A = this chain, B = another copy of it.
């Protein structure tokens, strides 16, 4: 049996990756033109109006995800620390990988808009990390992220540029992708039956760690309207904000109610409160800029809270028991299923969309519905022609929304299975089951 490479060697490999990123930035990237000094004439308009939105998302990625994962009693260093490490490498990689699809003059042009995209891409990896939390080395997480961002960037381009699906909150391209990718990796890394008995008792919260996790939950909850609305503007943006706000509020109320209904002795369960309250934000993601009306946002949010609590209560234990499929943070219940729900609703609302209701914004939201003879399509002439060409009708667009979620989940699962196989190679150090969920594997920890 091959000896796995040591932690030290692993980190040196990451150093090589960081150096390569530096070289790529030097050779193939440059500031976006609006970041350069104006030589003559007026300066180009900047994108600084998006900066408050960016900062809200930045809080979600680094505080939100980081602290949400502190719920395990002895994994708080890893949760906050690995989150910071993984996201820091991933945003650089995402700037490069996503930038490859939009090069100008052979250069990746870096802008604030690209930073927003990079943060959102990093979220995808952090979601996958949630499925695996406590069972991998940081090197495994980083390697997983390197694979995942590449596949993510390609799929995002496929869905938004060729399939022309609408998904402003990223439910399909981010949440579904990240969740099913992570679950597929987790499946490959599942324990042997013979190892199941081997366990420490660290897969659970302490009173204090549960409250730290609420820091993450609540910041995610607060800034989710910014996440869902960052890529739209004007009336669409204000609508995305309001719909997400309503969806989250309704999901939260329903989560508490369901938690009491299904839990032991009708007491509230912190797992539900920390996670299912957020499912409303995922579930309105693909539709938040559509005319779903306030009751639609409340309905979708409520269904997401319901689905998510039921998932935590009944489905996750079954997946663990029958498939040995671990999902530490329950990303299937917070991100996976609510994202599929969002995609289904996006198909329903796409099927119902009319020019009469949406005015010309119909073609901003669903550019493939532009009549192929219309001059409007010329605004998109620098983009690839949509699959099936311009001139889709509403039912066709609905079909593409469904195709979008199906193909995304398929790509995520295949990508995750392949990535998992790589992570399981004999050269990768695996954490033995009795050292899972324990900061001591990676950190110097003070004596209690």
Q: Which residues of A contact B (CB under 8 A)?
A: 6-8, 11-12, 14-15, 18, 21-23, 25-26, 29-31, 34-40, 43-44, 46-48, 51-52, 55-56, 58-59, 62-63, 66-67, 70, 73-74, 76-77, 80-81, 84-85, 88-89, 91-92, 110-112, 115, 138, 204-208, 210-212, 214-215, 218-219, 221-223, 226, 234-235, 237-239, 241-242, 245-246, 248-250, 252-254, 256-257, 260-261, 263-270, 273, 277, 291, 293-295, 298-299, 302, 357-362, 442-446, 448
Separation of A34 and B241 alpha carbons in the complex (Å): 13
Residue of B nearest to A81 (CB): B273
Chain B contacts for A252, CB-based, 8 A: 84-85, 88
User: Considering the complex of A and B, which 6 residue pairs feature the smallest CB-CB distances, nearest first?
Assistant: A26-B295, A88-B252, A37-B361, A37-B359, A25-B294, A88-B249
Separation of A218 and B83 alpha carbons in the complex (Å): 10
Chain B contacts for A245, CB-based, 8 A: 91, 115
Residue of B nearest to A277 (CB): B84
Cross-chain contact A81 with B270 (CB below 8 angstroms):
yes
Cross-chain contact B295 with A62 (CB below 8 angstroms):
no
**Contact for A11 among B84, B261, B360, CB less than 8 A:** B261
Min CB distance, A80 to chain B, in Å?
4
Residue of B nearest to A233 (CB): B48
Chain B contacts for A77, CB-based, 8 A: 210-211, 268, 270, 273
A sample of 26 cross-chain residue pairs with beta-carbon separation below 8 angstroms, ordered by A number, consists of: A8-B260, A11-B256, A11-B257, A18-B254, A18-B257, A22-B250, A22-B302, A31-B291, A34-B238, A37-B291, A37-B362, A38-B361, A52-B52, A52-B55, A55-B226, A63-B219, A66-B214, A88-B252, A89-B253, A91-B245, A111-B242, A204-B446, A206-B448, A210-B446, A267-B444, A269-B443
Cross-chain contact B22 with A298 (CB below 8 angstroms):
yes
Chain B contacts for A294, CB-based, 8 A: 25-26, 29-31, 110
**Contact for A35 among B6, B25, B239, B295, CB less than 8 A:** B239
Chain B contacts for A38, CB-based, 8 A: 235, 359-361
Cross-chain contact B25 with A298 (CB below 8 angstroms):
yes
Chain B contacts for A85, CB-based, 8 A: 252-253, 256
Min CB distance, A358 to chain B, in Å?
5
Residue of B nearest to A448 (CB): B207
Separation of A444 and B212 alpha carbons in the complex (Å): 17
Cross-chain contact B238 with A111 (CB below 8 angstroms):
yes
Cross-chain contact A92 with B249 (CB below 8 angstroms):
yes
Cross-chain contact A444 with B268 (CB below 8 angstroms):
yes
Cross-chain contact A46 with B235 (CB below 8 angstroms):
yes
Separation of A361 and B111 alpha carbons in the complex (Å): 19
Residue of B nearest to A12 (CB): B257
Chain B contacts for A112, CB-based, 8 A: 238, 241-242
Chain B contacts for A59, CB-based, 8 A: 219, 222
Residue of B nearest to A249 (CB): B88
Residue of B nearest to A14 (CB): B257
Residue of B nearest to A16 (CB): B257
Contact A88-B18, Cβ < 8 Å, known A38-B361, A238-B34, A444-B263: no
A38, A91, A294 pick with most chain B CB within 10 angstroms = A294
Residue of B nearest to A119 (CB): B245
Chain B contacts for A15, CB-based, 8 A: 254, 257
